[in-house]
Amino acid sequence: MRYEAPASLDAATRLLADAGGAARVLAGGTDLLIQMRADLVEPTVLVDVKNIAEMREIAEEGGRFRLGAAVTGMEIMEHEGFNAAWPGIVDGAKLIGSIQIRGGATRGGNLCNASPAADSVPALIAADAIARIIGPDGRRAAPVEDIATAPGRTSLAAGEIVVSFDLPEREPRSGDAYLRFTPRTEMDIAVVGVGVNLALDEAGMCVAARVALGAVAERALLVDEAAAALIGTRVDDAALAALSAAASAACRPIDDKRGTKEFRIEVAGVLAERAARIALERAEQG
Ligand SMILES: Cc1cc2nc3c(=O)[nH]c(=O)nc-3n(C[C@H](O)[C@H](O)[C@H](O)COP(=O)(O)OP(=O)(O)OC[C@H]3O[C@@H](n4cnc5c(N)ncnc54)[C@H](O)[C@@H]3O)c2cc1C
C-alpha cells in the first residue's frame, strides 16, 4: 500500500484517478484506519487530504461560511465566528468521540463514511449546507442530504472528493441546534440525532425551518413535514407538538441492541421538540 499526501486538489484527484477505484481518501482516519485494520477495506493507495489548504480552512465572506471538509471537530469548536453563526453544527462536532478523536475527525469523513448515525450530518442538512465536490470530471455541487445513500454507501463517483461545505448567509433572528440520544453519555453512537434550524421575523413568527433526523433510517433524513409544522407559527406548544408528531412519523428505523424501532420513533419526536426549543432560544438571542 502507498501513502500519498498531496498539497493540491489537482494532485489528489490525479492520484485517485490513476489508482482506478483502488484508492481511498484519508482524512482523520478515525473510521478508515479501523476498517483497514479489520480488513473491511484494503486500499492500494491512501490519499491523505489534510495538506490541501482549501480543505483545511473555515472561511467567511459576506456572512457566508465555507467549511473545509478536512477541518477537524476541535478546529470548529475553537472558531468563534463559526460558533456564533452555526452553534448547531458545533453541537454535532462536540459530541463526536473523545478529545483525541475530535482532534482528527473531520466533517467530510463523518459524511463520507456514510453511517446513518453520523453526528455532524443532521445539523449540516438542517443548515442547508451544499457539498462542493471535485473529481475526474471536474467540480460539482450537491446538497449534503444527497451524499450518503445507505450505510457505508454514498452518491460520490469513484475518485470524487468532498472539498468543502457552503453555508447560506445567516439571517438575524435565526438559530440551530443538534441533539442526540445515546445510552451512554459519550463515546457511543446516536440512537437518534436531530438537527433543527429556524429563522424568525421581527414579530417572532417562524419564516423558515429545516429539520433533519439521524439514525432512524438508512441515511439521515430531511423532514419537510416537520419543518412545515414550525413555519408560520410562533413555535408555540401546538407547533412543537405537530413537529414532534411529524418527526416520529418520518422514522423508518431498525431494531438493534441500542434501541427498538418503537423507542427510536418516540425519542425522535421528543428530541425534535427539545432541539427546536434550543434553536428558538438561540434565534431569539440572535
Ligand atoms: C472512539 C471513536 C468514537 C467515535 N465517536 C463518534 C461519535 O460520537 N459520532 C460520530 O458520528 N462518529 C464517531 N466516530 C466515528 C468517526 O470518528 C467519525 O465518523 C469521523 O468524523 C470520521 O472522520 P475522519 O476524518 O476520521 O474520516 P476518515 O476515517 O479519514 O474517512 C472516513 C471515510 O470517508 C472517506 N472520506 C474522508 N474524507 C473524505 C472527503 N473529503 N471526500 C470523500 N471521501 C472522504 C474516506 O475515504 C473513508 O471512506 C468515532 C470513532 C471512534 C474511533
pLDDT digits (tens, 9 = 90+) for 21-58: 789 999 999 999 999 999 999 999 999 999 999 999 99
pLDDT of res. 258: 79
- From the alpha carbon of 107, which atom of ligand 1 is closest? 21
Per-residue pLDDT tens digits for 202-246 = 999 999 999 999 999 999 999 999 999 999 999 999 999 999 999
Pocket test for ligand 1, best of 24, 101, 165 (most atoms within 8 A of CB): 101
Count CA atoms within 13 Å of residue 91 on its CB side.
Answer: 26
Q: Can you read off the three cell numbers belonging to residue 150?
A: 445507505
b/e string for 34-68 if b means 16 or more Cβ within 10 A? ebbeeeeeebebbbbbbebebbbebeeeeeebbbb
- From the alpha carbon of 32, which atom of ligand 1 is closest? 29
Say how many Å lie between the CA of residue 27 and the centre of ligand 1.
8
Per-residue pLDDT tens digits for 245-285 = 999 999 998 888 778 899 999 999 999 999 999 999 999 99
Pocket test for ligand 1, best of 3, 30, 164, 184 (most atoms within 8 A of CB): 30
Per-residue pLDDT tens digits for 170-210 = 999 999 999 999 877 666 788 899 999 999 999 999 999 99
pLDDT of res. 179: 97
Report the topology of domain 174-285. Answer: Enolase-like; domain 1 (3.30.390)
Residue 140: other Cβ atoms inside 10 A: 12
Residue 104 near residue 76 (C-beta atoms within 8 A): no
Q: Which residues line ligand 1 (CB under 6 A)?
A: 24-32, 34, 49, 69, 95-97, 101, 104-106, 108-110, 112-113, 118-119, 161-162, 187
Q: Can you read off the three cell numbers belonging to residue 120?
A: 455532524
Pocket test for ligand 1, best of 50, 55, 89, 113 (most atoms within 8 A of CB): 113
pLDDT of res. 187: 67
Lowest mean per-residue pLDDT among 12-21, 121-130, 154-163, 240-249: 12-21
pLDDT of res. 172: 93
pLDDT of res. 186: 66
Q: How far apart are CA 115 and CA 131, in angstroms?
A: 17
For the segment 137-163, the average pLDDT, to the nearest whole number, is 97
108 Cβ neighbours under 8 A, 6+ residues apart = 25, 27, 49, 55, 69, 70, 161, 162
Per-residue pLDDT tens digits for 83-118 = 999 999 999 999 998 999 999 999 999 999 999 999
For the full predicted model, state whether its pTM sits above 0.95.
yes
- From the alpha carbon of 35, which atom of ligand 1 is closest? 29
pLDDT of res. 286: 76
